[in-house]
Each structure stands twice: as C-alpha cells, then as structure tokens.
Amino acid sequence: MRNELRVALVTPEAAPLAKSGELAEFCSALPRYLTSLGLKVSLIIPRYSTPQIASLDAAVVFPEISIPLNGERAKASVFRAEQRGYDIYLIDSPKYFLRENIYGPPTGNYLDNDERFVFFSRAALEFLRQAGLSVDVIHCHNWPTALIPVFLQSHYREDSALNSVASLLTLHNTAYQGEFPAECLALTDLNWDFFSPRHLSLNGKFNFLQAGAEYADLVNTVSSTYEKELLSRKSGSGLSRVLRKRRKNFTSVGNGIDRDTWDPGMDPYIAANFGPGRLEGRTKCRQDLMAVMGLAPSAEIPLLAFVSHLSRHKGADILAQSLEAIVNLGAGVVICGEGEERYQKEFQAAARRFPGRVVFRLESNPVLTHKVMAGADILLIPSLTEPSGLNLFAAFRYGAVPVVRATGGLKEAVRAHNSRTGSGNGFVFRDYSAEALLRAVRQAADCYTGNPVQWRKLMEEGMRQEFSWEDTARGYAGLYQRALEFKRGG
C-alpha cells in the first residue's frame, strides 16, 4: 500500500470546529489516525461563524477563488490552519456560511441548503484546482458533499488537475439524503440529461446522495449490518437500487472510538478517573452528575441517560411515549440534545412534571456528554436507524450499560444480557415501539437493583470492548487504494 497517498477530506462538519452529529466526531479523528499511518491529509470545511473556528490560528492562503454556480461566477476565499500534523482549509463565504447553525435552526433546514452545498462542493474542487493542491483521493461525507463525484466525472472529466483523482463517498446516515426540487439542477450547471432515475433523480426530486452513490468510484458505510440494511429493498432509504447495482463498489468499514478523547482513566472533564477493575471513581462521577443536574435518585435507583439529536431516527418519539412509565419504575432520567422543536417541548414538559427525576438540557457539549457517560448507569439508544453508534462505544468505555434497539451498528455490537448465565454486554429490543423500549428498560432496571454482581460484570464486559480507530484508519487507507485502482482501471 502506498503510504504517501494524498487525501482531501471534504466535510460539512468536524469537531470541535462545527458539530451537528456523529459525522463531526468521525472527521475529527480520521485525519489524525490517517496521518499516523503516513498519509498526507487535508481537511476542507466551510468557514462557519463558530467560536471554535474563530479561535483557530488561520491565515488567508487564497484571497479569492472563482466558483461556477448557476451559470455565473461566485467568489470565495480560503483560510488555512495547521492541526495535529494535517492542514485544515476553510472555504469562506459569508453569504452561505456566516450563520448560527450548520444546516438550519431546530424548526427546520435553511431554504437555500441546496445552493449552499452545491457552492461548497464546487468551491472545494476549484480550490484544489486553482491552488495546484495535488491529491490522489477526495473523501466525501453524506449528502452535503455527495455531488463532488458527479462534478469530477462531468465538469472536471477533462481537467488535467483533477481528471485522475479518485472519489470515495461515505454514507454515515442515509436518513438525510439532500432531496431538493428538480429546478435546483440549474445550480450545478449540468444539463437535463443528468436528471434521470439512473443518475441524479429519485422520486422526481434531485437527490444529492443518490447522485453521489451513482458516480463515486467507491461507496462505503460505517457498519456491515447497516451495509446489509441499505442493500435490502425493505430498508426504506430509497438507495437500495443504486447500491445493489454498484454492489462491487459498495462496502463498509466499522467506526472506532478515539481513545485519546474517550479515556475514563485520563478524562479531565469528569469528577474522578476510573477504569476496568477500578470502578470506585465512577461512584463519584455518578454523584457529580446528579449534583450538576439537580437529580434526586439514590444509589439504589438506576440513572438513565439519552444523549442524542432529538428526532424520530434517534428514537425520541418512543422515549417521550414511555418516559412516564420509566420514571414510575423508580428511575432517574437525563436527556441531553438539540433537534426537533416538538421533542424539545415534550421533554421540557416532562422535566417540569417530574422535578428531580427527569432533567432535560437543550445542549450536547463535550463536558456535559463526558459527565453523562461517566455518571449514568444506563445509556438509552432506542434508534429507528443507527448506522454505527459512536455514543454506544463511549458508553461501553465509560461503564454505562446500553439499552438499544437491534438495528445497524447497534445490532452488531450489543449482545443481549442473559439473566441465567450472566452473558452479554447490554439489553436489546427489536420492535420499534414504546412498549418494547419499556420492557428492555425494565429488564435493565431489575438487573441493576436485583443483581449487583451481574451488573458489575456487564459494566466490566463493556469496558473491555475494543473499537480501534487504528483499525478504522487502516480500513480507509485500503479503500483509498481500491478507489484509485478502480479509477485507473476504469
């Protein structure tokens, strides 16, 4: 394998610069681990108006680049910052990125997201071309950058700077596909021959993710179970046709956990450090979390947590439906996250109704998330869809026992607890319903209160799980090589 591979990671988000979900954590860790393998990495991201981006020591490297857009020429500038052995390039355009949120407020998406991310994709390619920044592979993520493979095979097909560049598209979550009216095709400067179910359209709309899956040299997702789900006609994602057609070019690489960021033995955010075989510090973390949240439950009552985007895809609806019954089991519940307004209101009302038993925080910052993982007894992940489940990996590492729905990466990583033998590493339910979630929570609560020996064994088993980012990085290095071989071999 060529260790001198030059890779451009083009992403709409990367922690801590700009974060909406798990993609940001992924794009924070991957460049560092690829660099450790000897690859030369550049990260390209919009220059949002976040405090984290503002605090970067970034300098203008291109005062102005010209970007084709909707038959005209738009302008952008590019900033550069060094971080942990790789370069970060920030595409600056106040018109598109000087906003409070990445994709839109909790009430919905920005109406011009199609234009914003067509612009960003073309701007990334124009920067690489105009700056003479030579790369072998462009790694794209989710729908906001999924048009890059399309542009490489259309506008830049004969361009000497980009015509040999391979593309990899990673499907982190197909619940969001970038569906827009057909008219927005004009933004891309592509002709209408491209707008067909075999190329860019799906159900009569311009579907960015379908387009990328059709044109990328290689496509992958983040767990083998999610890969199988996406190939199934029953998946509901709408992408099964194109992914089955491109089966030889579609694969998966499992995610890992960044052990530098998630290490309970060294974590500066938590009240006390701990690890497998030395769980005393976790008791202090639990007490600290309860104090921070203003919770009343004693050590005999399980403390549950839900840390996620507030949406049906993450199970917010069935959690809201079962929350009163969960509280009636004697549990305390911490809910943290941002998302859809209707769930915000439901959880705010529940916190008022059950003071000291339910706490809702409309946020998910690193300090709070680490405190929750270190202090909660049970992490709830009742997702309708869950491609990977990075929160699950953190929960395992910090000794929070998971209650999950058997889907995607959760199904792959969690083995159901057997009360007779004590085997397993979590609690699992299959039906997507409040009743099924409640049954699994009741099983977990009964084990917590009635069998402390088995509970400790569950915690220890989870903490011994290995989700190595080194393995993940090697997997992606292999995919880059495969994408290049496909590009060169046709």
Tell me the per-residue pLDDT of 201-260, one tens digit each, with 9 for 90 and over. Answer: 777 889 999 999 999 999 999 999 999 999 997 766 789 999 999 999 999 999 999 888
Look at phi and psi of residue 12 and say left if phi exceeds 0, alpha if psi is from -120 to 50, else beta.
alpha
Q: What is the pLDDT of residue 236?
A: 62
Q: What is the pLDDT of residue 142?
A: 97
Tell me the per-residue pLDDT of 49-94, one tens digit each, with 9 for 90 and over. Answer: 999 999 999 999 999 999 999 999 999 999 999 988 999 999 999 9
pLDDT band at 490 (very low <50, low <70, confident <90, very high): low
pLDDT tops 90 at residue 198: no
pLDDT tops 60 at residue 1: no
- Domains defined for the chain, CATH in brackets: 6-256+469-489 (3.40.50.2000), 280-463 (3.40.50.2000)
Tell me the per-residue pLDDT of 428-477, one tens digit each, with 9 for 90 and over. Answer: 999 999 999 999 999 999 999 999 999 999 999 999 988 889 999 999 99
